[in-house]
């Protein structure tokens, strides 16, 4: 029943309507619009910008993006996942792109594109998935339905190049890590501590696609909204009660909000967080809580949303943030000062 039209889509010569608060419009051509893309692992978009229009900070949970600028000048950037050293900030990479320029946004990292010119701008982009998904950070964190618990949000907003060892030099300790019975120090503003066991701590995980973490929570401690760009997480609660949740990627209908899925977990309960989606875990009890989690990558990465968006180095341009979050500059000043 396949016909030529299954491989055909027309209309990308038509400008998108940018009459909206962000001043941009994305016209998507993925497997939903073009059935012939099924199994091919690629899709395309056209992005139109009014003067000073913004494609707001977002992620593609299943794809790398490569945009090509066709008209005018865009200021673009992406923020790395959290550094291994918790005292170091997420790194922001930015570039001004003119007509004919190409830039790469790695899979699942937070990115933005901003028209800095007085004229309309146009870009096309290829994405490495037939259905890449999109998570607009501001909408997902502050506009999900139902809303993320405000206690979570108020508290939240205060790769790897391992070389395989010579097989003749491998020892049993390469597959061993002690100490996951020791509680982490939760004396910090969030009241939580993640003890990570990935390929950096346990070399035997190399090539195995797996890692584990222990998460300790003080009473009302929070593991704030974050993503794992390279892994699905499966959580097991050992002590206490956790309120957990994740937010879906952006809906096909732009008038519908990101969906929030939440659950209260007790000792012995398990919950799954899909790869690349924004998730959080909050201790709602008066006692300490403990959880262990397995992740489907030897080095899953983590992007803490508040730190990445408001605490990157150098800082994301405030014109980008005020437009993305639809707030006044003084609000952005306050949030950036917290990180």
pLDDT tens readout for residues 124-163: 998 898 888 899 999 999 999 999 988 888 888 873 345 5
Looking at the fold, whether 26 and 101 belong to one and the same domain comes out as: yes
Helices and strands, counts by H and E, the chain: 5, 19
- Indicate whether 297 and 175 sit together in one domain: yes
- Quote the strand ranges of the chain, DSSP E: 24-29, 43-49, 54-59, 65-71, 74-79, 92-97, 110-115, 121-127, 135-136, 192-197, 211-217, 222-227, 233-239, 242-247, 260-265, 270-273, 278-283, 289-295, 303-304
**Structure-token pair, residue 140:** 């997902």
Asked if residue 177 is part of any domain, the answer here is yes
| Same domain as 233, residue 151 | yes
> Which residues lie below 8 Å from residue 311, measured CB to CB, with a gap of 6+?
89, 90, 336, 338, 339
Range of the domain at 259: 146-301
**9 and 56, same domain (yes or no):** yes
Structure pTM? Answer: 0.75
Residue 95 and residue 66 share a domain: yes
Within a domain: 338: no
Asked whether residue 82 is domain-assigned, the answer is yes
Task: Point out the domain boundary residue: 133, 165, 186.
Answer: 133
Domain membership flag for residue 245: yes
- How sure is the predictor about 209, in pLDDT bands with cuts at 50, 70 and 90? confident
Answer yes or no: do 119 and 154 share one domain: no
pLDDT for res 159: 30
Give the pLDDT of residue 162.
52
102 and 204, same domain (yes or no): no
What's the rounded mean pLDDT across residues 241-267?
94
The answer to whether residues 179 and 278 belong to one domain is: yes
End residue of a domain, out of 111, 133, 155: 133
Q: How many domains does the chain have?
A: 2
Residue list, annotated binding site: 223, 226, 228, 233
CA distance 3 to 254: 30
Our CA angle for 323, 106, 332, nearest 5°, is 25
* Same-domain check for residues 116 and 158: no
Binding residues for oxalate are 223, 228, 233
Cα distance between residue 68 and residue 78, in whole Å:
16
In the annotated binding site for Mn(2+), the residues are: 226, 228, 233
Residues 160 and 296 in one domain: yes
Asked if residue 272 lies in contact with residue 265, where contact means CB atoms within 8 angstroms, the answer is no
Of 131, 8, 120, 140, nearest to 74 by C-alpha is 120
Q: Which residue has the higher pLDDT, 6 or 114?
A: 114
Residue 321 lies in a domain: no
Residue 313, pLDDT score: 92
Residue 257 lies in a domain: yes
CA distances from 106 to 102, 117, 185, 209 (A): 13, 25, 33, 19
* Last residue in a domain, options 133, 161, 179: 133
C-alpha 72/C-alpha 70 separation (Å) is: 7
316-327 core/surface letters (b: 16 or more CB in 10 A; e: else) = bbeebbbbbbee
d(CA 284, CA 219): 7
| Tokens, residue 308 | 């990445």
Distance CA 259, CA 23 (A): 24
CA atoms within 13 A on the CB side of 35: 6
CATH number at residue 81: 2.60.120.10
- Residue 127 inside a domain? The answer is yes
Residues 158 and 110 in one domain: no
* Residue 141 domain-assigned (yes or no): no
Distance CA 82, CA 224 (A): 13
Residues 202 and 64 in one domain: no
Give the pLDDT confidence of 148-205 residue by residue, as tens digits: 988 888 888 873 345 567 778 888 888 888 888 899 999 999 999 999 988 888 888 8
For the segment 313-334, what is each residue's pLDDT rounded down to a tens digit? 999 999 999 999 999 999 999 9
pLDDT attached to residue 29: 87
Which tens digits make up the pLDDT trace of 37-72? 888 888 999 999 999 999 999 999 999 999 999 999
């Amino acid at each position: 029943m396949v016909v030529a039209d299954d491989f055909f889509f027309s209309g990308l010569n038509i400008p998108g309507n940018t009459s909206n608060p962000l001043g941009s419009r994305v016209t998507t051509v993925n497997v939903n619009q073009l059935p012939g893309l099924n199994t091919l692992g690629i899709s395309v978009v056209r992005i139109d910008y009014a003067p000073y229009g913004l494609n707001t900070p977002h992620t593609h949970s299943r794809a790398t993006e490569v945009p090509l600028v066709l008209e005018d000048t865009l200021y673009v950037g992406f923020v790395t996942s959290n550094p291994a050293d918790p005292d170091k900030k997420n790194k922001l990479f930015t570039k001004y792109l003119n007509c004919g320029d190409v830039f790469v946004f790695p899979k699942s990292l937070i990115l933005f594109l901003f028209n800095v010119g007085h004229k309309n701008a146009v870009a096309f982009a290829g994405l490495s998935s037939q259905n890449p998904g999109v998570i607009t950070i501001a909408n997902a964190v502050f506009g999900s339905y139902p809303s993320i618990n405000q206690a979570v949000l108020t508290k939240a907003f205060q790769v790897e190049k391992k070389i395989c060892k010579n097989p003749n030099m491998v020892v049993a300790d390469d597959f061993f890590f002690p100490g996951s019975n020791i509680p982490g120090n939760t004396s910090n503003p969030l009241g939580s501590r993640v003890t990570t066991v990935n390929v950096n701590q346990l070399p035997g995980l190399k090539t195995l696609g797996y890692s584990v973490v222990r998460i300790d929570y003080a009473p009302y401690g929070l593991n704030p909204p974050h993503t794992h760009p390279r892994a699905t997480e499966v959580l097991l609660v050992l002590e206490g009660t956790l309120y957990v949740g994740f937010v879906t990627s952006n809906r096909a209908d732009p008038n519908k909000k990101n969906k929030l899925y939440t659950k209260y977990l007790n000792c012995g309960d398990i919950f799954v967080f899909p790869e690349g989606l924004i998730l959080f875990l909050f201790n709602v009890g008066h006692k300490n809580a403990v959880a262990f989690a397995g992740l489907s990558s030897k080095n899953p990465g983590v992007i803490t949303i508040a730190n990445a968006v408001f605490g990157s180095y150098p800082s994301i341009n405030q014109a980008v943030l005020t437009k993305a979050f639809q707030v006044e500059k003084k609000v952005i000043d306050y949030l950036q000062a917290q990180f």
